[in-house]
Amino acid sequence: MAPPPNPKLPPRPGGTPLGGMPPRRSWAVFLVILLINYWVFSQLLPGADEPVTVPYTTFREQVAQDNVSAIYSQGTSIEGRFKSPVTWPPANAAGAGSAAPAPGVGPIASRAPSRTSATFTTELPTFFDRGLEDFLIRHGVEISATPIRQGSGWATLLFGFGPALLIIAFYVWLWRRASAQGGMGGGGLFGIGRSKAKRYDIDKDTRVTFDDVAGIDEAEAELVEIVDFLKSPQKYTRLGGTAPKGVLLVGSPGTGKTLLAKAVAGEAGVPFFSMSAAEFVEMIVGVGAARVRDLFKQARESAPAIIFIDEVDAIGRARGQAVLGGASEQEHTLQQILTEMDGFTGREGIIVLAATNQPDVLDRALLRPGRFDRRVVVNLPDKAGRRAILDVHVRKVPLAADANLEELAQATPGFSGADLKNLVNEAALLAARRGEAAVQQKDFLDSLEKIVLGPERPLLLSAEDRERIAYHESGHAILGLLVPGADPVHRVSIVPRGQALGVTYQRPSADRYNYPEDYLRARIIGMLGGRAAEEVVYGTRTTGAENDIEQATQLARNMVTRWGMSDAVGMVQLAPRQNAFLGGPAGFGGDRPFSEQTASLIDAEVQRIINECHVQAKRLLHQHRKALDALVASLLRQETLSEHEILQATGLQPAPQLHGRPMVPNAASQA
């Protein structure tokens, strides 16, 4: 199975990396020539001037025969020149008669090949030959003060420096290659300060337009003006007004910020320079700022243009709040961006779009007028938006007649554009694997389940375990049906998936923005239904409720500390508002701003809510024990039941609904 394509910033076929690479061929040629030279010299020289090493006795013999013209000695080694060349070892000793040396033949004779040379070296024996000097003089040998064997200047140079030169050349070559490949901007060492921005040019087939963006109409509408400005800047600057310079796109991951920025460029027909802020910051000080400078320079050269800086929070973090290390480097980079933006007259036709999902950590300086003074919030799509986004992404996917995008849009609250794209892709892959001609609704629903809950996990469960899990899930499902205000139960399954051994899948019928207290209690009762069913049926407990307990506690705690739903505590904020975009706590760092007494009061109230819901859950399941048993029997037979099958098996009617909620499965997790 092919993995889904990475939704992030796929470089479009039409996009070309910036800064074309100059040919590096000259370096390779140089290297090859050097190598050939080295080889040629090393082949030629030994024959001409390489000395033979002769034994001391042979040396003396040659002196005695008056065949040595000069020697030079250093320490115990002597080198010298023969009058007429000498072959050593003598040819008859080296390979006498037969090709393969007989076993008895001395190793030296058999190993060293015979060579003829006009020069020689030899070693003085350790018992120094006292009469040597006289002996040499008698035979007219010149005792030289400089080495005998002085090759040509070139050869010496090459042998002396050749290897070093080769190594240096090799490193230079490697280095240039590496930097040419590493940075899009190329340029070797000197290219390190170049921006690695990707440029997307606007050709007809690859360009992104507002047609490709769906479900975030408000954000889109705000950017229409930018497009207009890029198309005809004079229209805006005619009366001396300055154009917007920077727009900050704020929204959760995958909501289409990058897509929107590309669409602005596409609509305006201007080049799009994209770079992630994280890429600005490197270990080397000053590099980030240099890259920023280069990026803006490139954009200015092809103005009008759009510069897109993704994840701007990576450098735009308020000063002093920087992540460990690199703080000052990050500041320099940020400063450079501000300087560049201040340098605009507003007439060049360059607009900087930046994206972040953490607007609250950004440095104030970035948000000042003349910088990123416009802020466009890109929200998660609502149901109609999800429907529109699905429509965009199924354009190239053949759909079966039963495919129901309306139902999918309803079943996917909290999904971003990227999530929906992924869903369509998974369904298309699944349909292909199943050998279908078109994508059916079942493919979509199965893919959705896999995305939300994880893939099915083959687990061998005992009959008792299966039954217990069936009761646990049925407990969730029955309470979801019975308690007024709970979401409709969409599916129950005892097929293990991801972390869960079984799943009850509730689905809101509408997006919700405001949750009534009844609804929250109904949810807690549903969450506790799994454990309650186990207690009602078996009278014992298992670890399977861990996830349920965690969720229920969190919800009850929020009711008490954030939403003022406990009379004993009152309408006091005791926990920070959660970060709207990331879901994590934002403020309240360090000490909690309340007393020990309040802390115990909160705990007591949370416990009270949970206990009340627990009692209620058990009471309802006792009352509807028959429906519970019936559901379990069906579940053990079929493993997965749809909403319709659940109603049939239990004979229950769904309780009146209050409102929907984001899809959060109740899952029995294994300890």
Ligand X SMILES: Nc1ncnc2c1ncn2[C@@H]1O[C@H](COP(=O)(O)OP(=O)(O)OP(=O)(O)O)[C@@H](O)[C@H]1O
Pick out residues in 539-598 that bind Zn ion (CB under 5 A).
548
CA distance 427 to 107: 77
Question: Residue 148: which of Zn ion, ligand X, none does it interact with, CB under 5 to 8 A by kind?
Answer: none
CB 435, min distance to ligand X, A: 27
In single-letter form, the type of residue at position 603 comes to D
Contact 263, 226 (CB under 8 A): no
CA distance 370 to 384: 35
Residue 372 token pair: 């990123």
CA-nearest of 430, 475, 470 to 450 is 430
Question: Residue 474: which of ligand X, Zn ion, none does it interact with, CB under 5 to 8 A by kind?
Answer: none
Assess whether 473 carries a catalytic annotation: yes
Most distant CA atoms of the chain, gap in Å? 131
Tell me which stretch binds ligand X (CB under 6 A): 26-34, 253-261, 403-411, 647-655.
253-261
CA distance 283 to 115: 59
CB 417, min distance to ligand X, A: 2
Pick out residues in 296-335 that bind ligand X (CB under 6 A).
310
- Contact between 496 and Zn ion by CB under 5 A: the answer reads no
Q: What angle do CA 151, 155, 160 make, to 5 degrees?
A: 105
CB 186, min distance to ligand X, A: 26
Contact 256, 418 (CB under 8 A): yes
Which residue number places its CB atom closest to ligand X?
417
Q: Exposed, middle or buried, 69 (CB in 10 Å: 0-12/13-18/19+)?
A: middle
List Cβ neighbours of 472 (8 Å cut-off, separation of 6 or more): 502, 530, 531, 533, 534, 544, 545, 668
| Helix, strand, coil % over all residues of the chain, rounded to 5 | 50, 15, 40
Question: Residue 336: which of ligand X, Zn ion, none does it interact with, CB under 5 to 8 A by kind?
Answer: none
Nearer to ligand X, 78 or 452 (CB): 452
Q: SS3 for 240?
A: coil
Please select the residue that binds ligand X; options are 196, 199, 207, 257, rule is CB under 6 A: 257
Dihedral of the CA atoms 557, 558, 564, 567 (nearest 10)?
-20
Question: Residue 389: which of Zn ion, ligand X, none does it interact with, CB under 5 to 8 A by kind?
Answer: ligand X
Pick out residues in 557-616 that bind ligand X (CB under 6 A).
none
Question: Residue 467: which of Zn ion, ligand X, none does it interact with, CB under 5 to 8 A by kind?
Answer: none
Q: SS3 for 478?
A: helix
Please select the residue that binds ligand X; options are 268, 277, 366, 418, rule is CB under 6 A: 418
Nearer to Zn ion, 289 or 503 (CB): 503
- Catalytic one of 473, 534, 535, 643: 473
The answer to whether the annotation marks 325 as part of a ligand binding site is no
CB 422, min distance to Zn ion, A: 27
- Contact between 255 and ligand X by CB under 6 A: the answer reads yes
The answer to whether the annotation marks 255 as part of a ligand binding site is yes
- Contact between 19 and Zn ion by CB under 5 A: the answer reads no
The answer to whether the annotation marks 474 as part of a ligand binding site is no
Please select the residue that binds Zn ion; options are 530, 624, 631, 641, rule is CB under 5 A: 530
Tell me which stretch binds ligand X (CB under 6 A): 22-30, 112-120, 207-215, 529-537.
207-215
Size of the site for Zn ion (CB under 5 A): 4
Residue 612 burial (CB count, 10 A): 14
Q: Judge if the upstream peptide bond of residue 89 is cis by omega within 30 degrees of 0.
A: yes
Site of interaction with Zn ion (CB under 5 A): 530, 548, 666, 668
Which residues are catalytically annotated?
Answer: 473
Binding-site residue set? 251-258, 472, 476, 548
Annotated binding site for Zn(2+): 472, 476, 548
Residues that bind ligand X (CB under 6 A): 7-8, 213-216, 251, 253-259, 310, 355, 357, 389, 392, 417-418, 421
